[in-house]
Structure 1
């Protein structure tokens, strides 16, 4: 038993320092913020956003989505949403901490913010469901 305790103490002492010192807030600290993303716009006949977008795995990002109310529109991206960790969704000042998302929908004008951490590298997209135009979709790469 003494040997095990000594081995654990030795491993703890000999463990190398973490590669990142994120501070009190951990991975969500200000030192881990990715660059600002363009605002996503949901409006009848309007492009969603300028793209493509490149994200870095492990960084914190926030997408702001604005709907102008011209149509009932959604934004889907199951592959993207399954490969990020959603910290919170804010709608009209109300914070929601979901287990996961597959899509979001606006029945009227409003703004939504989604704060997330990019996790799994790959090629993904967000688009207006059923749309075929390039302006109704944004390609997202997590590297």
Structure 2
């Protein structure tokens, strides 16, 4: 009987560390507060061009990702592992705000820009890529710490 309370105490003392947001006083807006925003992420979908640079994000911080297609080809961006590691706030396309539960990919048939805003949640390294491509420049690694 005495083993159970000791085990319960041990579990509480060794609780996992929680990643801190980028600011101390989040205020009324919570994690969406302006002080909790990381640098914007810029990706370009263009035939034969690099997608973008690898990035490192802070778990608990708010980010915006701008995906711009130049219309040179019908291109998509996929990364279900990454999209499951974040909480998606909204996707804005042509001033239309979409608040999805989940996404798997985004495809551009023509030129345009999609702005994703999200909070990074699950630590790890995730890959966003142009489907069917094999080149290193056709993907980016997003690390969440």
| TM-score normalised according to structure 2 size | 0.82
Alpha-carbon distance between aligned partners in 1 of 2:70 and 2:97, rounded to the nearest angstrom: 21
Look up the match of 2:29.
25
Larger radius of gyration, structure 1 or 2? 1
Look up the match of 1:121.
123
- Deviation of 1:36 after TM superposition, in Å, equals 2.7
In the alignment, structure 1 segments of 5+ residues that lack a partner are 1-18
SS of residue in 1 equivalent to 2:66: strand
Look up the match of 1:49.
52
- Deviation of 1:24 after TM superposition, in Å, equals 1.3
In the alignment, structure 2 segments of 5+ residues that lack a partner are 1-22
Alpha-carbon distance between aligned partners in 1 of 2:29 and 2:97, rounded to the nearest angstrom: 18
- Deviation of 1:35 after TM superposition, in Å, equals 2.1
Q: Which moved more, 1:113-122 or 1:21-30?
A: 21-30
Alpha-carbon distance between aligned partners in 1 of 2:40 and 2:130, rounded to the nearest angstrom: 22
SS of residue in 2 equivalent to 1:58: coil
Look up the match of 1:34.
38
Stretches (4+) displaced over 2 A:
none
Look up the match of 2:66.
64
CA-to-aligned-CA distance 1:29-53 (integer Å, 9 cap, x gap): 101111232x101011011012x21
SS of residue in 2 equivalent to 1:90: strand
SS of residue in 1 equivalent to 2:117: strand
Look up the match of 1:11.
none
Give RMSD over aligned pairs. 1.1
Look up the match of 2:108.
106
Look up the match of 1:142.
144
Count of residues paired in the alignment: 123
Look up the match of 1:4.
none
